[in-house]
Amino acid sequence: MELLTDEDWYVRDAAASSLGYIGPEAKIAIPALTELLKDEWVQETAAWALGEIGPEAKRATPALTELLKDDWVRQTAASALGKIGPEAKRAIPALTELLQNTDKDVRKTAAEALRKITTEKK
């Protein structure tokens, strides 16, 4: 966790990546990873890590939704929102808008995220 605020972007990126590999057990890092979404050097890795944490990362939904506007990280942010699942319902309008994107991979990721968010598990 301490390394998420290191001066070196590479160290921050590696720390975020490590937390993503830990998965849901890294939920204590959600606030710090959400803050890293503002850091252009590591925001994609932070978004990925939040997705790997899953539904517990629902607090990051507004910040991840904002990243859907960024050409460089929108696909990772969309995927993370899908992994958060139904807890990320607030992202539905922004993800729906991505279904009109010119990039077929972005459209596919948005559609998959929408499916995961709108499908209730039984």
Q: Which amino acid is at 29?
A: A
> 14-30: string of b/e by CB count within 10 Å (b at 16+)?
bbbbebbeeeeebbebb
pLDDT digits (tens, 9 = 90+) for 8-35: 999 999 999 999 999 999 999 999 999 9
Note down the domain range covering 46.
Answer: 2-118
Q: Check which CATH number belongs to the domain holding 63 and give it.
A: 1.25.10.10
The model's pLDDT over 77-98, given as tens digits with 9 standing for 90+, comes to 999 999 999 999 999 999 999 9
Q: State pTM to two decimals.
A: 0.95
Determine if residue 82 is left, alpha or beta; phi over 0 gives left, psi from -120 to 50 gives alpha, anything else beta. alpha
Quick count: other Cβ atoms within 10 Å of Cβ 38?
Answer: 12
How many structural domains is the chain composed of? 1
